[in-house]
Amino acid sequence: MPATYLIAIGTNLGDRLENLQRGLALLRERLQPQEMRSGGLYETAPVDCAPGTQAFFNSVIQLTAVCTPQELHGHLQAIEQAMGRPSVREKNAPRALDLDLLYAGDFVSDDPVLTVPHPRLHLRRFVLQPLADLCPALVLPGHQRSIQQHLEALTDDPAEVRLVEKDWMKPL
């Protein structure tokens, strides 16, 4: 049975757009999604990173595929590793690709290996903004507010997350 997932995708190394496109190609190859679309592509200054770290490109992907959340998580980790991300790394280290499972329908898990919904997504503009492009009325399991309401409740400067391109994802 197909399930719909929301995945945060980001990068801050090298040709960032190429990294994202390559990551999407690997997702398509591994999962053969029935549907795949994205929120806008946003650039964000690095936070708590080493001086001179390149800014991040961030977006959110919505896909429908036949797999469990655990299987999807395994695919996401394998894709990150295929793109050069070491399994042991410093916190906030630069990376060619970062993939985080944000949402998996009614599935909820607080397992340290796979926590869904993502525990901090409602606090991060660089996640909420592209997520609101896709599904502003979505209320995550365990939350009272919609994605749009979480976004509006943030107190940081909205200008710190800059739209780069609305339609950046190559079609299926």
Whether residue 171 is contained in a domain is answered as: no
According to the 3-state scheme, what is the secondary structure of 94-127? Answer: CCCCEEEEEECCCCCEECCCCEECCCCHHHCHHH
**What is the per-residue pLDDT for 45?**
86
Mean of all residue pLDDT scores within the chain: 91
**What is the per-residue pLDDT for 112?**
86
- Domain of 34: which CATH number? 3.30.70.560
Whether residue 129 is contained in a domain is answered as: yes
Domain that holds residue 115: 3-165
Whether residue 172 is contained in a domain is answered as: no
Whether residue 39 is contained in a domain is answered as: yes
Which of 76, 77, 55, 57 has its CA nearest to residue 65? 76
Whether residue 170 is contained in a domain is answered as: no
pTM (2 d.p.): 0.93
Structure confidence by residue, pLDDT tens digits, 120-159: 889 999 999 999 999 999 999 999 999 999 999 999 989 8
Whether residue 50 is contained in a domain is answered as: yes
**How far is Cα 92 from Cα 50, in angstroms, rounded to an integer?**
8
pLDDT class for 172, splitting at 50, 70, 90? low
Interval 33-49 mean pLDDT: 90
Structure confidence by residue, pLDDT tens digits, 151-170: 999 999 898 899 999 999 87
**What is the per-residue pLDDT for 126?**
94
Number of domains in the chain: 1
> Does the pLDDT value for residue 89 go beyond 70?
no
